[in-house]
Structure 1
């Protein structure tokens, strides 16, 4: 049976309902299967809906077609995250993380963030590597919760206060109806947040940030806030099992992939890769190779002078360097053999590989990817 439907009788004239999918993508699927027509998507949004359909019904060939389109045309950060988290397209992971790292603040403050599926919000909050202060994540999460809260505010009928003394008004605001309304709103927001609250790293905030931006929301109980203040002041665990005790997130890690390789290989005694660092200090952690190399050294050079030498490496497809590259500087990453008995096998690839943090220039290479940490 190709599709599971609610059709009960073979000759029934009742409409057949296909739940959770829209007619346009279903028609696309039928036109390809029965009409031998090429698939043409209107945009990435349609391709994502199509991918969900053919994935559900295990149509591997059509899934490959939509995957190819999405990898080529899906660039918007929300679409990329949807592909990774909702559609489980693992090929999108590196693109999603790199885009998120590069645009984290502006994305968190955008209207688009408020519209995210809760699963995507959970994915972001669960990241261990994120180059952003926790308070920015909290503000974005609070904004998301208010947008998605069914009853984010409570209207209180307090009558006409115009003739009441100012002192009485203030007392009412602090201890009466407005205080109750604030607690009710906090309880409503907490219900909306649900398990997302667990991922917030309150201990990564300063005491001032916690006092001014968390306490006032009334999302945490008085007991929880007291425990948090003690933990922030003492550096000891707060002991609340349902709230995170993690500190600051780790620096951003990103992978720069080399693309456009030809199949023809050449032998080299040395290979030079120029790394042009942009406005952030980087740590080059590791190198992944396209093939196994034997008996070679790696030099990091700056202004024609050696900064560091690593090796010899032998019979490996990856190795660790862990070297600092200063912002706004240019370095040469040089592979070399020191014996005529060995060669470095490399192929031509794209001459520039770039992201928001650096650009690598080369003519031929043996590198599959470079892993960096933003310091």
Structure 2
């Protein structure tokens, strides 16, 4: 008779880890990772369905999956860490990158407790880690994390808009801070420079010529939340017109509006707000658009 492995450890955490390591009690198999790094991982259905309604539907519904279960969108090490959490083993976060990937796994399998642990680990406390927090908050609708990130951006507005790391954030993160009532700065030129810096980085990543057409294309929806009407005529000409992001008709319309003190109509489709962001308490700002209350 073949001798089976035995469970080792004196604590529940140690014995749970031993279960994972030996595969004892496992009754399902996963093939985890992409084509370059595939790993077969054994697990217990009982542990899995205890933690996740997604696993419950996989194994105990009319839509049962065929084993082994392919998981190409999660890295093996991340999946193993998720299993350590599910089994109740001792584990810890190793990096922000790992936490972001665990967020994806926790969201995919609807493991709310693991997502909460990730949120706690990624909670922002400075300008350096605020972008990761905002990214995860936007992806997985974590409102408290999002509000914490926005508060840091609000309190450190000048450091944010002049930080070169802005070039590496996602379009959704940039849209969040340009669209909302977040930045406390006196001049919209800094916002425009930040957006151009970000769009330039996207053009360079794609091997595109850095010109007005491509910059505008990369900015997309962001462009309509830049407050051109809050600029001074001279800075609009020197900072905006020269980039070629706006078409001639738009530039002429904005410049006419600025030099006449608002006596000519602003261009259609661009931000109608004519007050600076430092004066946002005069405005009712919503995520559906701007209403000038002045």
Normalised by the length of structure 2, the TM-score is 0.65
Unpaired stretches in structure 1, ≥5 consecutive residues: 155-184, 255-375
What CA deviation, in whole Å up to 9, does each residue of 1:228-283 have, x standing for no partner? Answer: 111112214644332111122443899xxxxxxxxxxxxxxxxxxxxxxxxxxxxx
User: Do the aligned partners of 1:101 and 1:130 also contact (CA within 8 Å) in 2?
Assistant: yes
Where does residue 89 of structure 2 map in the other structure?
A: 37
2-structure distance, mates of 1:39, 1:25:
12
What CA deviation, in whole Å up to 9, does each residue of 1:286-316 have, x standing for no partner? Answer: xxxxxxxxxxxxxxxxxxxxxxxxxxxxxxx
User: Do the aligned partners of 1:201 and 1:244 also contact (CA within 8 Å) in 2?
Assistant: yes
Where does residue 70 of structure 2 map in the other structure?
A: 16
User: Do the aligned partners of 2:124 and 2:130 also contact (CA within 8 Å) in 1?
Assistant: no
Q: Does 1:153 align with 2:180?
A: no
User: Do the aligned partners of 1:129 and 1:252 also contact (CA within 8 Å) in 2?
Assistant: no
User: Do the aligned partners of 2:119 and 2:145 also contact (CA within 8 Å) in 1?
Assistant: no
User: Do the aligned partners of 2:229 and 2:257 also contact (CA within 8 Å) in 1?
Assistant: yes
- Judged with a 3 Å threshold, the aligned counterparts in structure 2 of structure 1 residues 222 and 142 are, in CA distance, closer, same or farther, namely same
The match for 1:116 among 169, 191, 200 is 169
1-structure distance, mates of 2:105, 2:264:
46
- Judged with a 3 Å threshold, the aligned counterparts in structure 2 of structure 1 residues 90 and 39 are, in CA distance, closer, same or farther, namely farther
2-structure distance, mates of 1:224, 1:55:
43
- Judged with a 3 Å threshold, the aligned counterparts in structure 2 of structure 1 residues 66 and 80 are, in CA distance, closer, same or farther, namely closer
User: Do the aligned partners of 2:254 and 2:266 also contact (CA within 8 Å) in 1?
Assistant: no
What CA deviation, in whole Å up to 9, does each residue of 1:119-146 have, x standing for no partner? Answer: 0000010122421121000001001101
- If asked which structure has higher relative contact order (CA below 8 Å, sep 6+), I would say 1
The match for 1:203 among 226, 229, 236 is 229
Where does residue 226 of structure 1 map in the other structure?
A: 252
User: Do the aligned partners of 2:181 and 2:277 also contact (CA within 8 Å) in 1?
Assistant: yes
Question: Which has more strand, going by share of residues?
Answer: 1
Where does residue 135 of structure 1 map in the other structure?
A: 189
Where does residue 26 of structure 2 map in the other structure?
A: none
Greater Rg by CA? 1
Question: Which has more helix, going by share of residues?
Answer: 2
The match for 1:47 among 82, 99, 104 is 99
Q: How much does 1:152 deviate?
A: 4.1
- Judged with a 3 Å threshold, the aligned counterparts in structure 2 of structure 1 residues 186 and 198 are, in CA distance, closer, same or farther, namely same
User: Do the aligned partners of 2:124 and 2:133 also contact (CA within 8 Å) in 1?
Assistant: no
Q: How much does 1:97 deviate?
A: 2.4
Q: How much does 1:227 deviate?
A: 0.7
Where does residue 81 of structure 1 map in the other structure?
A: 134
1-structure distance, mates of 2:138, 2:101:
14
2-structure distance, mates of 1:205, 1:36:
57
- Judged with a 3 Å threshold, the aligned counterparts in structure 2 of structure 1 residues 139 and 90 are, in CA distance, closer, same or farther, namely same
Q: Does 1:245 align with 2:283?
A: no
1-structure distance, mates of 2:98, 2:104:
10
SS in 2 for 1:16: strand
2-structure distance, mates of 1:45, 1:210:
39
Where does residue 339 of structure 1 map in the other structure?
A: none
- Judged with a 3 Å threshold, the aligned counterparts in structure 2 of structure 1 residues 63 and 28 are, in CA distance, closer, same or farther, namely same
2-structure distance, mates of 1:97, 1:137:
16
User: Do the aligned partners of 2:153 and 2:182 also contact (CA within 8 Å) in 1?
Assistant: no
Where does residue 302 of structure 1 map in the other structure?
A: none
C-alpha RMSD of matched pairs (Å): 2.9
